[in-house]
A and B are shown apart, each in its own frame.
Chain A
Amino acid sequence: MLVLGIESATAQVGCAIGGHEGVLASAHSSRAKRHAEILTPQIDFVRRQARIELREIGVVAVDLGPGLFTGLRVGIASAMAIAHALTVPMIGVASLDLLAFPVRFTSKLIVAAIDARRGELFYAFYRPVPGGVQRVSEYEVSSPDDLASEILAHSEDCLVVGDGALRYHEVFDGLRKVELADFGFAHPNAASLVQLAHAQALREQWVRPWEIVPLYLRKPDVDINWTTRDSK
């Protein structure tokens, strides 16, 4: 079964296609703020690189967030439309799970941290398990200092991964037993998404396109925009 994976939760936007043979093709771009312009041609490019037709796709996987709302929705809206048009099911995976997955070969406690802007991070804790990682906390949103305190409370070796960790590296640099993963692991990866979703697809753990629910972790800001209101 072929899986198309789309992720756009951070400053990076990417997609990948894969199946039982592994990942056939993938592409990523981190020229921020242009997710909508980049993503549609990128899917077409990856589709051609994978040498398949879109109608061969059996499942569409998408990064559910948390992340930057506007970019996140570009990926989710695109993925839902593709699944709808192909009449195939969908699999949603959290951005933080995608961040933790590529560093699963560590023996340390993994902390995935995404930049949430406004001086905060989205984060979660994971333990490596055979074949992947297991989340051992809730998805949280809080300040880098709060996360540093939580890490210290665990009093064990930690590997901190993600663009949020890198942005606030000075908060984590001085901590004992804490290692920071470099920028090669900074963003959720569409290839990891395809890999994780393919395993779920084999167990038919999927939903219909309209059942996909983004993980925002924050209530919407309520500032009314009079000037652009255009109806009634």
Chain B
Amino acid sequence: MTDMRILGIETSCDETAAAVVVNGTRVLSSVVSTQIDLHARYGGVVPEVASRAHVEMLTPVVSQALLEAGMVDGAKVDAVAATVGPGLIGSLLVGVSAAKALALVWDVPFVAVNHLEAHLYAAFLEEPDLDLPLVVLLVSGGHTMLVCMEGHGRYRLLGQTVDDAAGEAFDKVARFLDLGYPGGPAIDRLAMEGDPHAVAFPRPMKNDGYDFSFSGLKTAVVNHVRKHPEINAADVAASFQEAVCDVLITKARRAAREIGAKGLCLGGGVAANSQLRERMLDACVADGLHAFLPSRAMCTDNAAMIAAAGWYRLASDGPSSLDTGANPSLSLAVLDP
């Protein structure tokens, strides 16, 4: 089989990203322009600000990705893949429009990619030999889901959050503790100096099915700090993080046991959290599971994972139509088991 170089484009939220990946595994370049500074003063992502920044940054980011991959004029790109959802509609449309236009000019296939599926392929970039079935824990600012992966493109949703996403809880607690934005890395850093057992925060729904709930935990943190204003913020951060990880890992292990999974895969922005990574690796060693853990840089939104997922999608489904649009509420495709 000849090598296939895919240009991936990602603009679903607040990162403008482009990457060139060969055969879904070899990353030739991965460029990410983050808008964190643009949104920091609002404490969250402002959709119109994000869309404007994508228009401004996308051409330079694509140029840089092609340059770093040694393909200055794009002449050697074999396909263009882009995130079509889920995400912010105005932001998605910038990347989808540009990707389809590039595919049209270069006369190569366009591939529509599901952002959630791409987060899984971030882990497979480094571990392409899948051990199926896999239990996938997908945790980000927008999603918290537990999925059974039975093959490429074959997913069964086991459970998801009934209220806040895990990353959202991190952001909200960080904002309450005045740690700034984004909240995940801030809590991760502060927690290293704190005692994770200082406060016994609740573990919502820990032993109850596969769904998650984090809004009560956030409220418990707020109430506890209001009642004990003198408390050490590092202890609060560490105890909160411990409670989130405890719930996530407990459920993922139980799912793996009940399904008879061969491995555990972690994906999404929260997968960059040190404590969660450590707990997951420990769990995999203890339970004899193959761990699929993306590198930290590949946990947050990037385009290498889009190009990788695009390669598998192209192989299984063929090119997407040029009349493809964006779908802001796209879910992880669930095929018949």
Residues of B within 8 A of A79 (CB): 101
> B60 to chain A: which residues have CB within 8 Å?
210
Within the complex, what minimum Cβ distance (angstroms) separates B291 from chain A?
22
User: What's the least CB distance linking A83 to chain B, in Å?
Assistant: 9
Of A97-105, A159-167, A192-200, A217-225, the one with at least 4 CB within 8 A of chain B: A217-225
Stretch from B40-48, B240-248, B278-286 contacting the other chain: B40-48
> Is the C-beta of A143 less than 8 angstroms from some C-beta in chain B?
no
Q: Which of A43, A214, A232 contacts B104 (CB 8 A)?
A: A43
CB of B322 within 8 A of CB of A44, answer yes
Judged by a CB distance under 8 angstroms, whether B74 is at the interface is yes
Chain A residues with CB below 8 A from B183, complex form: 232
* A86 beta carbon closer than 8 Å to chain B: yes
Tell me the B1-33 residues at the A interface (CB within 8 Å).
Answer: 12-15
In the complex, A185 has a CB within 8 A of chain B: no
The count of residues in chain B whose C-beta lies closer than 8 Å to any C-beta of chain A is 66
**A149 within 8 Å of B (CB atoms):** no
Residues of B within 8 A of A216 (CB): 52
**B269 and A214 contact, CB distance less than 8 A:** no
Q: Looking at A214, A231, A232, which has the most chain B CB atoms within 10 Å of its CB?
A: A232
- B residues 130-180 near A (Cβ < 8 Å) are 140-143, 167-168, 170-171
**Cβ contact within 8 Å between A69 and B90:** yes
Residues B105 and A36 in contact, CB atoms below 8 Å apart: no
Q: Which of B91-99, B196-204, B304-312 lies at the interface?
A: B91-99
By a CB distance below 8 angstroms, the chain A residues around B47 are 223, 225, 228
Closest to B44 in A: A224
Contact A231 B59 (CB under 8 A): no
Contacts of A39 in B (CB 8 A): 97
Contact A87 B96 (CB under 8 A): no
Q: Is B62 an interface residue (CB 8 A)?
A: yes
User: Is B194 an interface position by the 8 A CB rule?
Assistant: no
- Please determine whether A78 and B46 come into contact, CB atoms closer than 8 angstroms: no
Residues of A in contact (CB 8 Å), total: 45
Whether B88 pairs with A82 at a CB distance below 8 angstroms is: no
The distance in angstroms between the C-alpha atoms of A231 and B141, with both chains bound, is 5
**Which partner residue on chain A sits nearest B183 by CB separation?**
A232
A77 touches B104 (CB 8 A): no
CA distance A73 to B95 in the complex (A): 10
Q: In the bound complex, how far is the Cα of B47 from the Cα of A221, in angstroms?
A: 8
CB–CB B323/A229 < 8 A: no
A78: chain B residues at CB < 8 Å are 97-98, 100-101
Question: B115 is contacted by which of A36, A69, A230 (Cβ under 8 Å)?
Answer: A230
Say yes or no for B55: interface residue by CB 8 A criterion.
yes
A191: which B residues are within 8 A, CB to CB?
none
Q: Are A220 and B48 in contact (CB under 8 A)?
A: yes
Nearest residue, chain B, Cβ from A211: B59
Contact of B300 among A86, A220, A229, A232 (CB under 8 A): A232
Report if A80-B58 is in contact (Cβ < 8 Å); known contacts: A224-B44, A226-B44: yes
Chain A min CB distance to B136 (Å): 16
Among the listed B46, B98, B167, which residue makes an inter-chain contact with A232, where contact means beta carbons less than 8 Å apart?
A: B167
Q: Give A40 Cβ to nearest chain B Cβ, in Å.
A: 4
Contact between chains at A54 and B105 (CB < 8 Å)? yes
List the B side residues contacting A210 at CB < 8 Å.
Answer: 59-60, 63
CA distance A142 to B295 in the complex (A): 50
Contact of A84 among B63, B324, B328 (CB under 8 A): B63
Residue among B88, B115, B185 with most chain A CB within 10 A? B88
Q: For A220, give the chain B residue with the smallest CB separation.
A: B48
Which residues of chain A have C-beta atoms less than 8 A from B143's C-beta?
Answer: 230
Measured in the bound complex, the distance between the Cα atoms of B95 and A21 in whole Å is 34
CB <8 Å contact, A232 and B182: yes
Q: Which single member of B43, B62, B73 contacts A224 (CB below 8 Å)?
A: B43
Alpha-carbon distance between A222 and B63 when the two chains are bound, in angstroms: 30
CA distance A226 to B182 in the complex (A): 12
Q: Which chain A residues numbered 22 to 58 have a C-beta less than 8 Å away from chain B? A: 34-41, 43-44, 54-55
User: Which residues of A pack against B, CB within 8 Å?
Assistant: 34-41, 43-44, 54-55, 69-70, 73-82, 84-87, 209-210, 214, 216, 220-232
Identify the 3 closest CB pairs spanning chains A and B, nearest first.
Answer: A230-B142, A220-B48, A224-B44
Beyond A34-B325, A231-B140: 20 further Cβ-contacts under 8 Å? Answer: A40-B97, A40-B323, A54-B105, A70-B93, A77-B97, A77-B101, A81-B62, A81-B97, A81-B99, A81-B105, A84-B59, A220-B48, A224-B46, A225-B46, A228-B88, A229-B13, A229-B14, A229-B142, A229-B168, A232-B141
